[in-house]
Amino acid sequence: MTSSNQAVLELKDVSTIVNRHTPNQTKILKGLNLTVYPGDFITVIGSNGAGKSTLFNTISGDILPAAGQVLHNEQDISRTSVEKRTKFLSRVFQDPKMGTAPRMSVAENLLLATKRGQRRNLQFRNLRGNKERFKKLAAGMGNGLAQRLDTPTENLSGGQRQALSFLMATLNRPDILLLDEHTAALDPKTSAALMEQTSQTVAEQKLTCLMITHHMEDALKYGNRLVVLHDGQITLDVRGADKDQLTIQQIMNLFVD
């Protein structure tokens, strides 16, 4: 369900080009249009090279569009830096190592996350005062993370480290949460547990979320909306009952040229 008619994120006729002015110049996104409303949980699927990562990189600011606009709450952010977008956008990557500082403890990483989008200094103020809050948050992940608040992040298991990345990304309730195949590097049991926790957190915090996944079952099971990318364009965008009626075979058929 959406809580407002005003879009939180819009991509209008967005095209992206990589390797500009070289023989390998390639257009990835091709006039893509996408409107995301508050409370949408969109699963994003597509074949390799369809443009999924480019879509997320364009939303996050890592890639600037060659044409078209990216809007946040109706404000044009097409040229806004990655750093400035962290004030309203969080992202969890496939690699558990990418979202955390390895030599800092779990608690120190969480304290850093409370400062997302703010000017940072090197002083860890009130780490002790936040410990109980962090312990409660970590306990909600159900994987022993709460007992490892003082452990350097590099000593965590992959599942614990990814759970920490997810906690850090959602700590300040971002306007937009990007989950970039965030369970793909985990074993099936750990992946399933993190997906359940993801669904619960998104629902409880009423987050607006886009999630790339290669798991067709997850794409159908989670979220209120499903988007299929193919050759740089959206070829399917369904929500609610229409999404619920989809089968894996129907989705697979969309990938056949």
Query: Do you know the residue count of the chain?
Result: 257
pLDDT tens-digit series, residues 212-248: 999 999 999 999 999 999 999 999 999 999 999 999 8
Q: What is the pLDDT of residue 2?
A: 44
- Burial tier of 165 (Cβ tally within 10 Å: 0-12, 13-18, 19+): buried
Task: Locate 143 and state its tokens.
Answer: 């994987």
Mean residue pLDDT of the chain comes to 91
Q: Determine the Cα–Cα distance for residues 226 and 217; give it in Å rounded to an integer.
A: 12
Q: How confident is the model at residue 181 (pLDDT cuts 50, 70, 90)?
A: very high
Q: What is the pLDDT of residue 10?
A: 98
pLDDT tens-digit series, residues 50-66: 999 999 999 999 999 99
Residue 120 has pLDDT above 90, yes or no: no
2, 40 in Cβ contact below 8 A?
Answer: yes
Task: Locate 94 and state its tokens.
Answer: 């496939």
Q: Which residues pair with 14 in a beta bridge?
A: 32
Considering only CA atoms, which of 160, 171, 155 is closest in space to residue 104?
155
Q: What is the pLDDT of residue 233?
A: 95
What would the DSSP string read from start to end of 42-92? EEEEE-TTSSHHHHHHHHHTSS--SEEEEEETTEE-TT--HHHHTTTEEEE
For residue 205, count other CB atoms closer than 10 A to its CB. 13
Q: How confident is the model at residue 5 (pLDDT cuts 50, 70, 90)?
A: confident
Considering only CA atoms, which of 67, 63, 70, 175 is closest in space to residue 116?
175
Crossing angle of helices 106-114 and 158-170, rounded to 10°: 20
The mean pLDDT of 104-122, rounded to a whole number, is: 81
Q: Determine the Cα–Cα distance for residues 222 and 208; give it in Å rounded to an integer.
A: 13
- Domains, the chain, ranges and CATH? 38-63+80-254 (3.40.50.300)
Distance of CA 31 to the CA centre of its chain: 22
